[in-house]
Copies of this chain bind each other. A is one copy, B any other.
Amino acid sequence: MRTSTAEAMEICSVEVTVSLLGGCWKLTIIQKLLEGTLRFGELRREVGYVTDRVLTRQLRELEADGIIHREVYPQVPPKVEYSLTPLGESLRDMVAMMDAWGQHWAKEQGVGAATEKSAEPAAV
């Protein structure tokens, strides 16, 4: 993906969005955060199969892109809360739409098509 957000912008805005939210768990993270502020650990548990390193990275990227806010509490047992910025909040409808379309796709093609494509090859 050469689309470095900067490059993407010169192509078309859709690519920008993808380059920003295309990360592996980003949309899931945003979706969870849409329901409220979460701590690092909570987020990790919510998201599911994601390692600290990866989650941290995604969060930092989202933060750098102004989509989420990172609030650090200088305490002995570290505490860091993540929440959406207004810009992140502005994704609510889009996330809902993508979620709905994902389900729609699963219903339309998922069962039939996906079976052909990734029935056995799919590990486990």
Min distance, Cβ A101 to any Cβ of chain B, angstroms: 5
Asked if A56 CB lies within 8 Å of chain B CBs, one says no
Per DSSP, are chain A's interface residues mostly helix, strand or loop, or mixed?
Answer: helix
For A28, what are the chain B residues with a Cβ–Cβ distance below 8 Å? 11-12, 14-15
Beyond A8-B102, A9-B110, A14-B31, 12 additional pairs, beta carbon < 8 A: A1-B24, A3-B24, A6-B114, A13-B106, A14-B28, A14-B95, A15-B28, A16-B102, A16-B103, A16-B110, A18-B98, A65-B109
Interface residues of A (CB under 8 A from B): 1-9, 11-18, 20-22, 24-25, 27-28, 31, 48-49, 64-66, 87, 90-91, 93-95, 97-106, 108-110, 113-114, 117-118, 122
